[in-house]
Amino acid sequence: MRQPELRQDTVEGRWVLISPGRAMRPMPHDEPFLTDEGACPFCEGNEQATPPEKVAWRLPHSPADGPGWRARIVPNRYPAVVQTAIPLSGPQVAAVGTHEVVVECPGHRASSVGLGAAHWHGLMRLARDRVAGMSGDPAHGWVQLFKNAGGAAGASLLHAHMQILSVPVVPHRVESMLERARDLGHCPVCRMVEWERSEKTRMVAEEGGLVAFCPFASGFPHEVWICPVGHQSHWETTPEATLQKMADLLWRVLARLEERLGLFPHNLVWQGAPRHHPLAGHGHWMVRVLPRLNGIAGFEWGTGMLINTVPPEEAAGMLAD
Ligand SMILES: [Zn+2]
Ligand SMILES: [Zn+2]
């Protein structure tokens, strides 16, 4: 495919411009991924440099806030929200929520993928438990688990980490996806999965009731979605076996991307539905892997239309076994 195409993402209704012939600018991953100087607050042995941990995956008998952990969750030192606030009147809402960091591994490394699938199982279990504990409380309008890896993806520290950030309102994007599914009268993700499974040209893997594929209207080069084949609204309350399969597939996709691209800037985004929302049943959870090899610039901000230089059929060919 050399001719540019416009493709519509049926989950959000947005258009994407797939433009493989567009001259590629130097790839960001040719530049240093991220460098940092001085003591890293996320390294084992430097636990005192972070606020006290909320929860951790620890070796037996290792004390909190000391060495002996595999992954830990700590409050963000520079939170975007506050835990308690004075009430406001008017159109604004006090930004009450929780902002935490999930430190993925004790050693100073930019990616924890090299630690293997078993590490990712434990890591995802830790993050899942934390998110599930928060999303069960209606005070959190939405709880977002995400990862920024590399400066181009918004990270400021090299050491591999994810973040959990909750807000007291349901974000417009989350709400509009639920409304769109309601208005369509069917789940667009279920339908898309069914279509991708029959097309086969963008599939990466299917296992244990989950699929990984490069979506037809990928907005980013090498974008991958991982989601259940059957309709499920909340990733954080999915059965343990499904959670483990999600961790496994995600790890495999990231490992394959790293193998092909080297350390690459990317975002990971977990989406689904707020558990207390009246339209929650319309949500279909997924993990989106968003490599950030192209910038988001003026055209994209003006139109909401992303330009993707790698057709998903090519991306899937590179990722599939
Ligand atoms: Zn470190
Ligand atoms: Zn569905």
- The 10s digit of each residue's pLDDT in 80-136 is 998 888 878 888 888 999 999 999 999 999 999 999 999 999 999 999 999 999 999
Q: In the predicted model, is pLDDT for residue 281 greater than 90?
A: yes
Task: Look at 36-45, 126-135, 218-227 and tell me which has the smallest mean pLDDT.
Answer: 36-45
Between the two ends of the chain, the Cα-to-Cα distance in Å is: 22
Q: Which ligand is nearest to the CA of 186?
A: 2
What does the DSSP assignment read for 105-140? -SS--S-SGGG-HHHHHHHHHHHHHHHHHHHTSTT-
> In CATH, what number does 34-319 get?
3.30.428.10
Give exposure, 255-271, as e/b (b: 16+ Cβ within 10 Å).
bbbeeebebbbbbbebb
107 CA to centre of ligand 1 in angstroms: 6
192 CA to centre of ligand 2 in angstroms: 9
Asked if residues 163 and 76 have their Cβ atoms less than 8 Å apart, the reply is yes
What are the domain boundaries of the chain? 34-319
What are the residues whose beta carbons fall under 8 Å from the beta carbon of 92, sequence distance 6 or more? none
Q: Please name every residue paired with 283 in a beta bridge, in sequence order, or none if there are none.
A: none
303 CA to centre of ligand 2 in angstroms: 28
User: What does the pLDDT read at residue 133?
Assistant: 97
The dihedrals phi and psi of 196, each to the nearest 5 degrees, come to: -65, -35
The alpha carbon dihedral of 309, 311, 312, 314 has a sign of negative
User: What does the pLDDT read at residue 38?
Assistant: 73
90 CA to centre of ligand 2 in angstroms: 37
97 CA to centre of ligand 2 in angstroms: 29
Q: In the predicted model, is pLDDT for residue 215 greater than 90?
A: yes
232 CA to centre of ligand 2 in angstroms: 6
194 CA to centre of ligand 2 in angstroms: 10
149 CA to centre of ligand 2 in angstroms: 29
Q: In the predicted model, is pLDDT for residue 31 greater than 80?
A: no
